[in-house]
């Protein structure tokens, strides 16, 4: 199941350093997960202080 970043993202960047495959990048208005690179490990969701990363 893929993870996605919701509008609750405050662009703090806490998730980017936790992603073991570098699948998270800054988008136009907030961070975005590259679904093709994501390995669904959940590390980003655990690191997010606002709970903005959820499984689809």
Domains of the chain: 3-55 (3.30.70.20)
Rounded-to-integer distance, Cα 19 and Cα 24, Å: 7
Tens-digit pLDDT profile for residues 17-49: 999 999 999 999 999 999 999 999 999 999 999
pLDDT at 1: 65
Determine phi and psi for 4, rounding to 5 degrees: -140, 155
Whether the CB-CB separation of 9 and 24 falls below 8 Å is answered with: no
First CA to last CA distance, the chain: 6
For position 15, what pLDDT does the model report? 97
Higher-pLDDT residue of 2 and 52 is 52
Dist. CA 3–CA 48, nearest whole Å = 12
Is residue 14 scored above 90 in pLDDT? yes
């Amino acid at each position: 199941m893929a993870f996605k970043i919701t509008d609750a993202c405050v662009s703090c960047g806490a998730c980017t350093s936790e992603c073991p495959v570098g699948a998270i990048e800054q988008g136009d208005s907030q961070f975005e997960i590259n679904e093709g690179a994501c390995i669904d490990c959940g590390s980003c969701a655990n690191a997010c202080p606002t709970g903005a990363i959820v499984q689809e």
